[in-house]
A and B are shown apart, each in its own frame.
Chain A
Amino acid sequence: MWFTLDNLATAHDTHEGAAHSSTGLSNVKLGMWLFLGTECLLFGGLISTYMLYRGRVGTGPRPSQVFDIPFTSVSSFVLLMSSLTMVLAVSAAHKRDDRSTNLWLVITALLGATFVGGQVYEFTAFYNEGMGFSTSLFSSSFFVLTGFHGVHVTVGIIMLLALRGMLKNNKVPGSRAETVEMIGLYWHFVDIVWIIIFTLIYLIPA
């Protein structure tokens, strides 16, 4: 058996207001981890497709001709640091320090917006260099993969700002710390997906 009853019994999710399953684990947390597991499959499929098609450039530009590694490195660094600010927001929420939680949530959203802005700039630059969505199999799979990731980051920013508003108006249902933690899990997930994309798509040449 891959987990024991001891594991279940020692669960320490005893946040005030959090609903727990018969296993003793938080329902919300269990659902979020299950969701993230399925998200791995979604991005696994998209990354697989890109890896298979990245050499098929047709008459369009090759990856090495369009990728701007210094620019993407800065974007990656920004997203990585947003994971730090997010975990600091979660930590502050557990300490019931609302002011710090709000501050770190806003900073995380701003860093995320910087990343998405960089992605929009990058896509525009690629398009101007002759790499449209349907130029080649490489360009299609690249735009779908990184576009899906960008949409995830954008959804994360919306969730962060909505959470910030709900915290300010005292309208968070259930445990406040757990709610911040769940959005934090989603945010860190988009960061780890980018860790893989940055290495496999940008740094390893086709």
Chain B
Amino acid sequence: MNTTAAPESHATEHGLSTAGYVRIALILAAITGLEVSTYYVDFGRLFLPALLIMMVIKFVMVVSYFMHLKFDNKVFSWLFYTGLILAVGVYCAALATFKFFG
């Protein structure tokens, strides 16, 4: 087995450096901490929007950096986000069906 590590520059062709990934993970951990804090601290009217925004930020960060969509071909992004948009459409359609006909 080849156990020789190539230079760091080779890794950055496929995304971030190791330090970059750790930085992203620390940001994600901090956002998770903030999310959990909403359970203990009353955020008032900001509660729901703040939680949803933090969820979206975490989602986009993992998809962009850990799944490399930011660095990869745009076709992959379109394939994935098309599925995601359709999924949101399913939710909206189901919600509307129950609201109007339920």
Q: Which residues of A contact B (CB under 8 A)?
A: 2-3, 7-8, 10-13, 23, 25, 29-30, 33-34, 36-41, 43-45, 47-49, 51-52, 69-70, 73, 76-77, 80-81, 83-84, 86-88, 90-92, 94-100, 168, 170, 177, 181, 184-185, 188-189, 191-192, 195-196, 198-200, 203-204
B21 touches A84 (CB 8 A): yes
Q: Take A30-B75, A192-B63, A196-B59 as given contacts and tell me if A170 and B1 are in contact as well, using a CB distance cutoff of 8 Å.
A: yes
B2 touches A98 (CB 8 A): yes
Q: Which residues of A contact B90 (CB under 8 A)?
A: 41, 44-45, 48
Total B residues in contact with A, Cβ cutoff 8 Å: 54
Q: Take A40-B83, A84-B22, A199-B51 as given contacts and tell me if A95 and B11 are in contact as well, using a CB distance cutoff of 8 Å.
A: yes
Q: Which residues of B contact A (CB under 8 A)?
A: 1-6, 10-11, 13-15, 18, 21-22, 24-25, 28-29, 32, 35-36, 38-39, 48, 51-52, 54-55, 58-59, 62-63, 65-68, 73-76, 78-80, 82-84, 86-88, 90-91, 94-95, 98
What 7 additional pairs, Cβ within 8 angstroms, besides A33-B80, A84-B66?
Answer: A2-B78, A25-B75, A45-B90, A77-B32, A88-B21, A94-B13, A192-B63
Q: When chains A and B are docked, how far (Å) is the Cα of A92 from the Cα of B2?
A: 12
